[in-house]
Amino acid sequence: MRLDIEIMMELQKIIKENRLGLLFQQGSFGIEKESQRVHQDGSVVTSAHPKAFGNRSFHPYIQTDFAESQLELITPPNKTLEDTMRWLQTIHEVVLRTLPDDEFVFPMSMPAGLPPEKEIKVAQLDNPEDVAYREHLVQSYGAYKQMVSGIHYNFQLSPELINALFNAQSQYQSKVEFQNAVYLKLAKNFLRYQWVLIYLFSATPTVDANYFKEGSPLQPNQYVRSLRSSQYGYVNAPEIIVSFDCIPEYVKTLEHWVNSGKLIAEKEFYSNVRLRGAKRAREFLQTGIQYLEFRLFDLNPFEQYGMALNDAKFVHYFILCMLWIDEIADQAGVEEGKARLAEVAFEDPRQQTKYASEGERLLSAMIAMLNEIGADESAVKIVKEKLAQFAQPELTLCARLVAEIQSAGGYQALGAKLAQQYKTHAFERFYALSAFDNMELSTQALMFDVIQKGLSMEILDENDQFLRLQFGDHFEYVKNGNMTSHDSYISPLIMENKVVTKKVLQKAGFNVPQSKEFTSVEQAVANYPLFEGKAVVIKPKSTNFGLGITIFQQGVTNREDFAKAIEIAFREDKEVMVEDYLVGTEYRFFVLGDETLAVLLRVPANVVGDGKSTVAELVAAKNAHPLRGDGSRTPLKKIALGEIEQLQLKEQGLTVDSIPAEGQLVQLRANSNISTGGDSIDMTDEMHPSYKALAVGITKAMGAAVCGVDLIIPDLKKPAENNLSSWGVIEANFNPMMMMHIFPYSGKSRRLTHNVLKMLFPEMQ
């Protein structure tokens, strides 16, 4: 045996001797999942790929595969399968919430209710070559065969592992050749034993009769393990044999089939293992195989996203075992593996497989490997569960699927039912991304838009809500949903400092209420002439429950009244403030660039009587609103019935058990914060444009690109005037909240995250 082959046989030994068990378990994982868009009845749609998903010429996450109706959802590579599944779930949530109301995602690999072949439109990609290739496939295989969906599982070994293995041997001088040999061992053994994965994970037992041009090969009521992986699936002609012996041979045989015209391109070679990391196979000679793509997985209809995390983990261990075992399948072995695959695929899923003992032997070897490399107990448990399925075929996914198809009255009916369930589920918390619910809702909303529109996204720090977005060569960072490079450093510093904010706004000519602080009654009263005739509020610097506050709403006209109010305030604190009092309602203006995008009114927690229900019942009913919850994982907060609320009720002569009259407004809080159960009401369209222009001006004076401006306005319909009785600015906030505008309690939703992206990437269409 050649020394280089010998060393590949001994990888297990090297790993053990060099204690590389942990590195061996590391790697990168990516999943691509195809699915058909379907009608409510599970039949394939003929509508175009939704425009809402942006542009397929660059979309990294949401593409079309063969047909216009066939979604291809792509996760970025991740260091853990957990993260990969989070992405897969998230992309699904974005897709399901974006599809038209009457479209669903079919959870099975074999399509159902196919339209006439000529109505199937190949994916309308921008690149004419891509469209031509698909038209060629239609000619070669027919459109129907191309409508099958599956999961492609991408796996890269840790580059550090390959380094460590390379350093631990001396037979290979070339790192590239060594790396190619490692991946080829893995690929060949995988092809040899791939039938095991079909036995365990296949889920295409049947299909509509009309799927086959020349009639179904299945007898009535016959079920198989995997039509998709059988000779009746979407496979190359049997003569297309490509050598996996070594890269030069692989390149030679693959190029032969392309040059001879049997394949239109290298990518038409549909091996269940594809070598990845180069545009053309020949490049592997120089750069080496970077990762492998495993293509034989049927969609698991019982999983909302097509594959269970534990199954994905099992696949990982299976792949590792292909590298671990002290054997390397030769070309004959590969062909034998392909033959067994075809056999097993056509077995009855409810029966034991012919090759059960080989499967049990292999899974036992996997368990031994897991113990040797110090894997978690949970890994061994996952493999043991699968091991049991060789003795109990009724536990396999496909056998369980057959039972469900029978009880649902057909696979299309079952698929339609599940598709509806999964879509409903995706809307349960429509304002959140379930897999990233540890992050802030506003960042989740932005991530939703990013994934929908197809910017590349990297989460730099989940706890810190730090994202890196990229489009072409242009990248931007975003923190907390709207903190970006578009705001200048000095803006938040100005806004953080109330004194400076007031000075800046006043200098720029805006109506800013003034306040003065005093440390003695005499000093305050001596300043009375400053306030005469003005509406002012007099209050202790630290207020407790509003004690000591006097408001001269119509203007203070009398020194004695003023002095009295000052004295009252001084009973509560050593410092007293006299502030301009603004009469009116507070509105929050959300400004981005040159535009006020949203205006919001915040109303204190309240219920409205119906003449029948108690306050407690009214509160419970209002709290059932889907937006209400704890206020951090939901856009709005449930109204509490604590001490403060009960005190508020008492002031209105009510208790929680009172039954307010129909239409009676019951206040449960004095303050209007959303965080204490307040209502958010969009008023963007109601607000007079002059105030919106003012908010933009205030934002510009702050030097800010994004700003939340709080104005007090007595009459939102009247044009703004240049005095404090028309309006006044009380605060300018950086990093303003967005959720209350995106999901207001009532009024129109304003998708501000969308505007943030437009600001950052104006070039993106």
Positions in the binding site for a copy of itself (CB under 8 A): 18-23, 160-161, 164, 374, 460-461, 464, 466, 468, 476-479, 483-494, 497, 499-500, 503-504, 522-523, 525-530, 532, 559, 703, 734
For 336, residues 6+ apart whose C-beta sits below 8 A from its C-beta are: 192, 329
Centroid of chain to Cα 553 = 50
Q: Which is nearer to a copy of itself, 138 or 724 (CB)?
A: 724
Angle, alpha carbons 146-393-303 (nearest 5°) = 50
Evaluate whether 417 touches 425 at the Cβ level (below 8 Å).
no
Distances (CA, A) of 112 to 44, 220, 296: 7, 17, 20
Report d(CA 677, CA 668) in Å as an integer: 9
Pick 526 or 621: Cβ nearer a copy of itself = 526
> Nearest distance from residue 87's CB to a copy of itself, in Å?
18
Residue with smaller CB distance to a copy of itself, 261 or 529: 529
Nearest one of 696, 714, 639, 703 to 673, comparing CA atoms: 639
Q: How far is the CB of 514 from a copy of itself (least distance, A)?
A: 11
Q: Which is nearer to a copy of itself, 420 or 514 (CB)?
A: 514
Contacts of 169 (CB under 8 A, 6+ apart): 7, 14, 178
Q: Which is nearer to a copy of itself, 422 or 510 (CB)?
A: 510
Q: Which two tokens stand for residue 372?
A: 């040797």
Rounded Cα–Cα distance for residues 447 and 86 (Å): 13
Say if residue 632 is exposed, middle or buried (CB neighbours under 10 Å; 0-12, 13-18, 19+): exposed
CA 290 from centre of chain: 27
CB of residue 559 to a copy of itself, shortest distance in Å: 7
Q: How far is the CB of 432 from a copy of itself (least distance, A)?
A: 24
380 or 413: CB nearest a copy of itself = 380
Tokens of 331: 């070309």
Q: Shortest approach of a copy of itself to residue 467 CB, angstroms?
A: 10
**Cα Dmax for the chain:** 109
Query: For residues 124 and 470, which CB has a smaller minimum distance to a copy of itself in the complex?
Result: 470
Burial of 662 (0-12, 13-18, 19+ CB in 10 A): exposed
What is the distance, to the nearest Å, from the Cα of residue 318 to the centroid of all Cα atoms in its chain? 28
- Whose Cβ is closer to a copy of itself: residue 557's or residue 655's? 557
CB of 526 to a copy of itself, least distance (A): 4
Supply the minimum distance, in Å, between the C-beta of residue 444 and a copy of itself. 19
Q: Which is nearer to a copy of itself, 120 or 760 (CB)?
A: 760
CB of 476 to a copy of itself, least distance (A): 8
Q: How far is the CB of 675 from a copy of itself (least distance, A)?
A: 24
- Cβ proximity to a copy of itself: between 493 and 661 the closer is 493
Q: Enumerate the β-bridge partners of residue 515.
A: 579
CB 135 to a copy of itself: min, Å: 40
Long-range contacts of the stretch 551-558 (C-beta < 8 A, 24+): 551/581, 552/581, 553/581, 553/583, 556/531, 556/532, 557/532, 557/533
What is the rounded CA–CA span in Å between residue 559 and residue 236?
97
Give the separation between CA 764 and CA 213, rounded to whole angstroms.
43
Q: How far is the CB of 543 from a copy of itself (least distance, A)?
A: 24
**Nearer of residues 231 and 497 to a copy of itself, judged by Cβ:** 497
Among residues 422 and 734, whose Cβ is nearest to a copy of itself? 734
The nearest distance, CB 532 to a copy of itself, in angstroms, is 7
DSSP label at residue 574? S
Are the beta carbons of 477 and 483 closer than 8 angstroms? no
Residue placing its CB nearer to a copy of itself in the complex, 559 or 748: 559
CA distances from 4 to 18, 172, 178, 333 (A): 19, 7, 9, 19
Stretch (H or E) spanning 119: none
Residue with smaller CB distance to a copy of itself, 138 or 701: 701
Using H for helix, E for strand and C for coil, what is the string for 123-187?
A: CCCCCHHHHHHHHHHHHHHCCHHHHCCCEEEEEEECHHHHHHHHHCCCCCCCHHHHHHHHHHHHH
Minimal distance, residue 734 CB to a copy of itself, in Å: 8
User: DSSP readout, 542-557?
Assistant: S-STTTT-EEETT---
Q: How far is the CB of 177 from a copy of itself (least distance, A)?
A: 21
Query: Beta partners for 86?
Result: none
To 10 degrees, the CA torsion angle through 408, 412, 415, 420?
-90
Q: What is the 3-state secondary structure (H, E, C) of 411-443?
A: HHHHHHHHHHHHHHHHCCCCCCCHHHCCCCHHH
Paired tokens of 217: 């090969």
Beta pairing class for 679-682 and 606-608: unpaired
> Closest approach of Cβ 760 to a copy of itself, in Å?
11
Q: How far is the CB of 537 from a copy of itself (least distance, A)?
A: 19
Whose Cβ is closer to a copy of itself: residue 168's or residue 258's? 168
CB of 324 or CB of 743, closer to a copy of itself:
324
Q: Characterize the bridge pairing of strands 628-629 and 636-637.
A: parallel
Residue 486 or residue 564: which is nearer to a copy of itself going by CB?
486
Residue labelled with tokens 């448990």: 381
CB of 211 vs a copy of itself, minimal distance in Å = 47
| Residue whose CB is less far from a copy of itself, 18 or 623 | 18
User: Closest separation between CB of residue 34 and a copy of itself, Å?
Assistant: 31
The CA distance from 185 to 516, in Å, is 80
Query: What is the spatial distance between Cα 607 and Cα 160, in angstroms, rounded to a whole number?
Result: 62
Evaluate whether 261 touches 255 at the Cβ level (below 8 Å). no
Which residue carries 């079909």 as its tokens? Answer: 198
